[in-house]
Structure 1
Amino acid sequence: MDPEETRPLLLTSSSGGGSSEPSARDGTRDRSPRNSTTKPGSKSPRKWHAGKLVVATVAVVALWLYSRSMATMRLMELEEGRTGGRRGRSSDGGAEWRRWSEVPLDWLDPSDPRRATIAIIRYNATDLTSYAGPVFINPGGPGGSGVWFVRHLAPYYQSIIGKNHDIVSFDPRGVGFTTPQVSCWNASASSPSPSPYLWDLLEPPVLDAHPGVIYDAYAYATAFSQQCFSQISDVGAYVNTAPVARDMLHMVEKLAPAGEAKPKLKYWGFSYGTFLGVTFASMFPERVGRMVNDGNVDARDYVSGQSTHFLTDTDRVMDAFYVFCHRAGPDRCDFYAESPAAIEARLELLLEDIKKHPVIVPASPPRFPRPEIVSYSGLRRLISSALYQPLLIFPSLASTLLALESGDGRPFVNLTSQGAEEPSRCYDRLESTIPTEPENPTPGDPEGAGSADASKAILCADLDPVQGGVDDFVTYVDKLVRLSAAAGASMASLVMGCVGWQVKAKWRFSGPFEANTSHPILFIANTADNVTPLRSALANAAGFPGSVVMIQDSYGHTTLSTPSRCTASTIRSYFQDGTLPAPDTTCAPDLVPFEPWSVDSAGFGLATTSDPGMEDEENLELDLAMVELMMAPVPGMGRYVRG
């Protein structure tokens, strides 16, 4: 497929020159297993054309800006009933950690003595003259830790939403500090837990790596489902989305000013968070104050257990790699060839070669104490993961592919061991001042972006039970691979997780996903999103009269993957005064993959839009916020795997 025939390109200026012939880097390679002689950990001078060129600028400007404008965060233990409205706050802002009062584990039977305890964090508004209440953030997943994201990123969300709003989030049931905990590997004094890391070693390759892999993968998924049932059958029935939506309503009521009747939710959800949002809006339509659903999961398709819509635009994002690499030219894209189609062919050749001849990367202590192997499965998973954040990862992906062609696996090991390589994030500076745990913490891991076991428990309890046997699943996987050549096989391994799942949800909401909400919803989608396509936003919006779908003309997962002042300003206006954009509104991105950019005193060097009502300092703060949110981890992105 020639992507230039499928849609207009975002970039209107042509890139620099470049040979019309394939680079000599495409040459014939040794067909025996290859050794990388360079040491992992050293860095290519060509990497991070966008990131490393500006990280110093971003850090300096961020230090300057936030030293003047960002409130000191502090740990506060809140009393029950003293969190409402503006009580107990000061104009210097700050973060509050609290362990919520207990809620029924089973909302359908409050007489059940078992309780869940929800961990919540709030970053206070700094503008109290026009205080507008809390906005809840859900980062996605399922299994993403809202506490982690607010702890690290709250000032950046607030820069977009407005400083007259609190930023609030929580760890959903099974995740982080919240109890009940979900772990399929619980240990007891008499029975030590087997290591989940050893179990991970048994994980099969991606499903198109070799004939018969799908049967191993089916058995692996079934065995893990049985293991989970043996450990979480008592609490696993209460961690799915419907009770979490009810928990969220409880939090809205607790945070409301004293005496306010039926307070309404303000909410910004990403990815799976849009399913939580749509579920809440369907269950409690009269309690929707503002709702932004960004990167939409098709609710009806999701609960079916045979989801296919999520791969609709995956290959369009892959096509964007070929197109933007070609437009950037050989100076900016290390995997350049004479046309987008030639780049695609070059990648397919590399994949087929690595399938037969994996790249060996020798050990390089102390950082890499053992040798590594770059396999076909590992490369497929890396490519699939890169589609979530094209602007951030495509340049390093191109450098990694070039190195693999010559038998050098060092860049692959560097990239996969660090997520998206370096660049240091400005929010790392804040860690010493942001509360790390409540005074009486519950068990859990607040430092991770979520829990893999909780993710599976939530997902599988939300879905219709998986029907049929392994042959039926073979048919389903074939359909996914046909839908996406780039990521169908690797994504199929993830959706296989619910095979054999036996824990049934006590309270499951499976629709209808429709309602007349008290305020219309703003649905947002990228032109091409690798796992939450535009069609899903349109499908969800159809059930909510008066709602609007806005498009950001960019690639990747959710609008956070690509900064756009137009999008950020639209979101701010919606939260500030309820203004919806006109139907069919499309926002341009401020940055595109492979093009160099910088952040200076005026904001993005390539910014094409600005809010005329904002001062330059405000635009700069907005730009910095979008950069930091773009660099943040993506819950549910899937891990880079070197196997």
Structure 2
Amino acid sequence: MRPRRGALAAVLLLTLTACAPASPEPQAQPQPRPGQAAGRAEAAAPPLGTNGAAVPELRWAPCHGSFQCASAPVPLSYREPRGKTITLSVIKLPAKDPAHRAGSLFVNFGGPGTDGVGELTRFGPHYPEEVRAHYDLVSFDPRGIGGSAPVSCPGADEPKVEGSPLRPDQHDAFYAASATVGKACAAGSGELLDHLSTANVARDLDLLRQAAGDRELNYYGYSYGTYLGGTYANLFPGSVRSMVLDGTLDLVANATGKPGQEHAPVDVRADVAAAQQEELEHFFAVCAAAGPKCAFSQGDQRRKFADIFAKLSQGPIGGVTLASLLQTIDSALYLSPRWKSLGQTLNSLAASSAGAAGARPPVLDPYVPVHNGGFLAVQCVDSDNPQTPADYDKLAASEQARQPYFGLAAVFSLTQCIGWPGHDADRYTGPWNRQRKNPILVLNNRFDPATPVSNARATAAELGDGHVLVVDGAGHTSLDVPSKCAWDAVARYLGELKVPAEGATCAPDAQPF
């Protein structure tokens, strides 16, 4: 699971109407609907709701030009609602037509680890006039991030891979280096690390909803923001008016996994490697059809790529390593306008790699994503992950055989969570299908390398009231795949609470070449 930090390529063309009357905040846990799957709960379920915590007073002051900023004190632990507090940094872009203001639209731009204040200042002014006229756009830095009691990990601000988990002489050094961020965060952040689960962010969100004067929540979450949305929708099911989950995590896979997945890390449970492979195959097909517009279009793209991969497995080509190429591909799969550059990169490597796949060299230096403390402080407490190097070592061979190009990165991407010092007893692990009065719209690209469309379908089923709309494009979330058809469907949903028909799809507005 990787944080989303891509650029906003498009914004929703929304038409919003006034909020419906609110339901009171639930104080008891509704029973799951018959026939709906529920996530596994921990032995001691966290208390539902904000547990009597005081609603903060938001004293808005001008900031960043036309924006307004405020600070919001919230409990460090919702088990002690009148105990220690932390302060959240909150921002809004006020409705341009205050006389006809309909409420707030809360937005989370992904992560974990992405600051909402900075993202809204960058992208808020570009939202459609209809949204700008009638709704305050509201975001905040989630606890532990940015201006909201950020985690401190001295000496580990720029973590890097040291050694290889596949080389016996470097194996122990790799896992020792993976643990350095956690040790640094423990030294710099202390007890804060035990209160950074998404469930506590959802509790913060509910206090902010009330502080903003909204009786019900209108919410749009991208990538990790879909997990925040799904968590909120089950902690506060009676307080949800509308919710769009865009680029959707599988809620069960992200939290605990299904029975039998206990020894698989999150990205393996979500089968991110298969999604990346599927999009790479789509790139090959689109590149071939593009002809001269794609530098890698000549010949058999699959064979040429297999040769490049094999050649780089033996050593660098002109300074390009296997890990650096896979990182480049990873970036291009997130944003299809980068495909032209990817084609040029692959074409530059093809001539010196011809026939290399026949030797079948082993991969000894895989691409391993690394994460900063802000990401890990949330992901490592939200998700169950294997806790011994042996678990990852055992899985590496089978996943590489199943997904030769991307399987190893999915296996090793969260080795930094081994021995993570934080543990949030109030995280939420299900059930995910609490009764809500309005459906949830689940939007996903056909080819999304980080949040596969299979995850979106799984989450819709786990929610019980989720409805999937697929955009036939490639990239991560609809921000990177503009589609007027999809935006119109979202507008109808947010305005009228009407979801698209089952199996509905939308075409993207542009193609990569």
Task: Report the equivalent of 1:309.
Answer: 270
Choose the corresponding residue for 2:183, options 226, 229, 242: 226
Choose the corresponding residue for 2:308, options 334, 350, 360: 350
Amino acid at match of 1:106: S
Task: Report the equivalent of 1:238.
Answer: 195
Of 522-531 and 121-130, deviating more is 121-130
Check if 1:565 corresponds to 2:510. Answer: no
Amino acid at match of 1:348: A
Q: Is the 8 A contact 1:380 1:490 kept in 2?
A: no
Distance 1:161 1:537, change over 3 A: farther
* Cα distance in 2 between the residues matched to 1:230 and 1:250: 30
- Cα deviation, residue 584, structure 1: 1.4
Check if 1:394 corresponds to 2:339. Answer: yes
Q: Is the 8 A contact 1:297 1:310 kept in 2?
A: no
* Cα distance in 1 between the residues matched to 2:235 and 2:460: 15
Task: Report the equivalent of 1:521.
Answer: 440
Of 311-320 and 288-297, deviating more is 311-320
* Cα distance in 1 between the residues matched to 2:280 and 2:93: 37
Q: Is the 8 A contact 1:158 1:165 kept in 2?
A: no
- Cα deviation, residue 317, structure 1: 0.5
SS in 2 for 1:313: helix
Distance 1:316 1:569, change over 3 A: same
Distance 1:484 1:154, change over 3 A: farther
Amino acid at match of 1:275: Y
Check if 1:536 corresponds to 2:455. Answer: yes
* Cα distance in 2 between the residues matched to 1:549 and 1:393: 27
Task: Report the equivalent of 2:126.
Answer: 156
- Cα deviation, residue 128, structure 1: 4.0
Task: Report the equivalent of 1:454.
Answer: 374
Amino acid at match of 1:354: L
Q: Summarize deviations over 1:317-368 as a string: whole Å, max 9, x none.
A: 0111101110000x20011223xxx1122122223223334244xxxxxxxx
SS in 2 for 1:568: helix
Task: Report the equivalent of 1:510.
Answer: 429
* Cα distance in 2 between the residues matched to 1:292 and 1:517: 14
* Cα distance in 1 between the residues matched to 2:70 and 2:324: 40
Distance 1:400 1:146, change over 3 A: same
Amino acid at match of 1:402: N
Check if 1:319 corresponds to 2:299. Answer: no
Amino acid at match of 1:528: F
Check if 1:332 corresponds to 2:332. Answer: no
- Cα deviation, residue 141, structure 1: 1.0
Task: Report the equivalent of 2:92.
Answer: 122
Distance 1:483 1:124, change over 3 A: farther
- Cα deviation, residue 106, structure 1: 0.9
* Cα distance in 1 between the residues matched to 2:270 and 2:226: 15
Amino acid at match of 2:192: V
Q: What is the TM-score when the length of structure 2 is the normalising length? A: 0.77
Q: What root-mean-square deviation, in Å, do the aligned CA atoms of Structure 1 and Structure 2 show?
A: 2.8
* Cα distance in 2 between the residues matched to 1:561 and 1:310: 21
Check if 1:281 corresponds to 2:211. Answer: no
Task: Report the equivalent of 1:379.
Answer: 325
Gaps of 5+ in 2: 1-8, 10-55, 257-263, 353-370
- Cα deviation, residue 554, structure 1: 1.4
* Cα distance in 1 between the residues matched to 2:130 and 2:506: 15
Q: Summarize deviations over 1:547-597 as a string: whole Å, max 9, x none.
A: 311111112211222111001111122222222212211111111221xxx
Task: Report the equivalent of 1:145.
Answer: 115
Q: Is the 8 A contact 1:522 1:550 kept in 2?
A: yes
SS in 2 for 1:136: strand
- Cα deviation, residue 287, structure 1: 0.6
Amino acid at match of 1:115: T
- Cα deviation, residue 108, structure 1: 1.3
- Cα deviation, residue 404, structure 1: 3.9
Task: Report the equivalent of 2:68.
Answer: 97
Amino acid at match of 1:96: F
Distance 1:310 1:132, change over 3 A: farther
- Cα deviation, residue 223, structure 1: 3.7
Q: Is the 8 A contact 2:202 2:232 kept in 1?
A: yes
* Cα distance in 2 between the residues matched to 1:108 and 1:456: 23
Distance 1:159 1:211, change over 3 A: farther
Check if 1:165 corresponds to 2:135. Answer: yes
Check if 1:580 corresponds to 2:496. Answer: no
- Cα deviation, residue 395, structure 1: 0.7
Of 297-306 and 351-360, deviating more is 351-360
- Cα deviation, residue 162, structure 1: 6.1
* Cα distance in 1 between the residues matched to 2:130 and 2:338: 24
Q: Summarize deviations over 1:18-56 as a string: whole Å, max 9, x none.
A: xxxxxxxxxxxxxxxxxxxxxxxxxxxxxxxxxxxxxxx
Q: Summarize deviations over 1:242-285 as a string: whole Å, max 9, x none.
A: 1100000011001116xxxxx11111111111110000001000
Distance 1:103 1:564, change over 3 A: same
Task: Report the equivalent of 2:224.
Answer: 272
In the comparison of the two structures, how many residue pairs are matched? Answer: 431
- Cα deviation, residue 374, structure 1: 2.4
Q: What is the TM-score when the length of structure 1 is the normalising length? A: 0.62
Q: Is the 8 A contact 2:156 2:184 kept in 1?
A: no
Q: Summarize deviations over 1:515-536 as a string: whole Å, max 9, x none.
A: 1123211011111221211221
Structure with higher Rg: it is: 1
Gaps of 5+ in 1: 1-57, 59-78, 186-193, 258-262, 361-372, 408-450, 595-643
Distance 1:283 1:529, change over 3 A: same
Task: Report the equivalent of 2:251.
Answer: 299
SS in 2 for 1:374: coil
Distance 1:146 1:310, change over 3 A: farther
* Cα distance in 2 between the residues matched to 1:153 and 1:483: 40
Task: Report the equivalent of 1:249.
Answer: 206
Alignment of 1:45-194 (within 5 A): 80=57, 95-112=66-83, 114-128=84-98, 130-158=100-128, 163-179=133-149, 181-185=150-154, 194=155
* Cα distance in 2 between the residues matched to 1:547 and 1:497: 33
Distance 1:81 1:357, change over 3 A: closer
Distance 1:161 1:324, change over 3 A: farther
Q: Is the 8 A contact 1:520 1:544 kept in 2?
A: no
Q: Is the 8 A contact 2:275 2:452 kept in 1?
A: yes
Percent identity (aligned) = 30
Amino acid at match of 1:182: V
Distance 1:136 1:483, change over 3 A: farther
- Cα deviation, residue 156, structure 1: 3.0
Task: Report the equivalent of 1:3.
Answer: none
Q: Is the 8 A contact 2:295 2:347 kept in 1?
A: yes
Q: Is the 8 A contact 2:305 2:350 kept in 1?
A: no
